[in-house]
Structure 1
C-alpha cells in the first residue's frame, strides 16, 4: 500500500511539473510573438515584408507600431517578389515611408542583377535607402574565380544601384555571410544585421538597422513578421 501511494504521488508530481512546463512554454511563446524592442531605446521601428509573409494589412501594421517598411523587390538576375507591386502600391497609398531590398546572388554578374533591380524599382528620391541582402555564399557557386572576385562584383553592383537610386545602399548582412566573407569591415556602408531578441555584434562595427525578431505577430498578417529597428 505504501509503495502504491508513493507511486501515485510521484506521478502527480511529474504531471504537475509537466503542466508547469507547458504553461511556461505557452507564456514564453505569447511574450515572444508580441515582443518589440523598447521604444525608449529604439524610437523608430518598422517591418520587412515580402511574398513569404502572405497578404499584409499595412493599416494594421502601422497600428502595431510600424513607422516604415522595407519591401523585398528583386533577387539575382531575374527573380522578382510576386507581391512587390501590390505591396509597393499599398504603402504608397498609406504614405508609409518605405524602401526596397534586393537579394544579391554572388553566382550572377553584377550587370545582370542591376538590370533586374532597375526595371522593377522606380527612380524615386522619396524612397528609403535601398538595401542589398547578402546571405548566399560565394562558395556555393562552385567557382573559385567567383569567390575570389566577390568584393569587386559586389562593389560594381552597389555602384549601379546607387547610381539608379541616388542614395548609398544599406548592406543587409547575415551572420553566415559575414563569417565567410567579412564584408562588414571592408565595404563602408551602413549595416543591417539580424538576430532574434538580442543585439547582433558579428560585423565588427555598429549597425544601423536590426531585424530584432522574426516572430512578431501584430495582427497585420497570417504569418509572423520580421520586425526591424533603427539605431538611434
Structure 2
C-alpha cells in the first residue's frame, strides 16, 4: 500500500509539473503573438529620429499609382527613388509621368533598376537608357541586387552573374554620368559577396535594426519596408542616408 501511495504521489507531481510547463509555454506563445502584433502596428508609422538621420526619403515601386509627392515632402522626405520595371517585368507606362511629378515636387529624385541575374546586361541597360533621361539633377542611379540566379530557366554561373552585373553597372554609370549605388540584399550578398567585389556605395535593407551584413560601411539604409502614410494609398519603403 505504501508503495502504491508513493507511486501515486509521483504521478500527481509529474502531472502538476506538466500543467505548469503547459501554462508557461502558453503564456510565452501569447506574449510572442502580442509582441508580433505590436511590432507590426508600430512599424506601420515608424521612422528614425531626424536628429540622427537628417536626410530621409522613400522608394516608390514600379507600377505604383496615386503617390502624392508633395505630401511625401511634407512628411519629412528629402528625396525619392523611383523603381524602374525590369526587362522581364510588367511594363510600366506610368513611369515617365511619375518621374515628372516627383521632379516637380521639389524632391531630389533618383531611379532604381532591378538587376535580373538571368538576363544579359545589354537589354537591361537599354531599358534604363531608354526610360531615364540624362540629367545632372538626378541622384546617382541605384542597381537593386535581390535574388541569386537559382531560378533561371538555364543555369547561370556565379562568374557569369558577376560579369553581367559589372557590365550593367558600367553602362548605367556611363549614361548617368555618376557612380551607381548598389541596393544590396542579404541574400545576394551571401551568395556573391558583391560588397567586396564592387567598390560602390552600398544601400542595405533591414527593418528597424541597423544592417551589418555587407562587412563595410553603407550610405543608404531602408529602415522600414512598409511605412503607412498619407503620401500613398499603399505602404512605401522608407530610407535614410548615413553621413
Q: TM-score range by the shorter chain?
A: 0.7 to 0.9
How many residue pairs match? The answer is 216
SS at match of 1:62: helix
Q: CA RMSD in A?
A: 2.4
Is the contact made by 1:51 and 1:82 (CA closer than 8 Å) also made in structure 2? no
Is the contact made by 1:123 and 1:165 (CA closer than 8 Å) also made in structure 2? yes
| TM-score of the two chains, using structure 1 as the length reference | 0.84
Q: Indicate the structure whose relative CO is greater, using CA pairs within 8 Å and at least 6 residues apart.
A: 1
In 2: Cα distance, 1:58 partner to 1:207 partner: 26
Is the contact made by 1:73 and 1:101 (CA closer than 8 Å) also made in structure 2? yes
Q: 1:174 to 1:25 in 2, by over 3 A?
A: closer
- Deviation string, structure 1 residues 66-92 (Cα, Å, up to 9, x no partner): 110000123136754343212101112
Q: 1:150 to 1:166 in 2, by over 3 A?
A: same
Quote the residue 1:128 is aligned against: 139
Quote the residue 2:219 is aligned against: 208
- 2:154 counterpart of 1:154: no
Q: Alpha-carbon deviation of 1:200?
A: 0.7
Q: Alpha-carbon deviation of 1:35?
A: 0.9
SS at match of 1:150: helix
- 2:107 counterpart of 1:96: yes
In 1: Cα distance, 2:51 partner to 2:65 partner: 31
Q: 1:204 to 1:89 in 2, by over 3 A?
A: same
In 2: Cα distance, 1:37 partner to 1:147 partner: 36
- Deviation string, structure 1 residues 161-198 (Cα, Å, up to 9, x no partner): 01100000000011111111111111000001100011
In 2: Cα distance, 1:66 partner to 1:51 partner: 19
Quote the residue 1:48 is aligned against: 59
Quote the residue 1:139 is aligned against: 150
In 1: Cα distance, 2:131 partner to 2:53 partner: 31
Is the contact made by 2:118 and 2:156 (CA closer than 8 Å) also made in structure 1? no
1:227 counterpart (232, 235, 238): 238
Which moved further from structure 2: 170-179 or 23-32? 23-32
Unaligned runs of 5+ in 1: 1-16
SS at match of 2:44: helix
Is the contact made by 2:62 and 2:82 (CA closer than 8 Å) also made in structure 1? no
Quote the residue 1:111 is aligned against: 122
Q: Alpha-carbon deviation of 1:25?
A: 6.7
Unaligned runs of 5+ in 2: 1-26
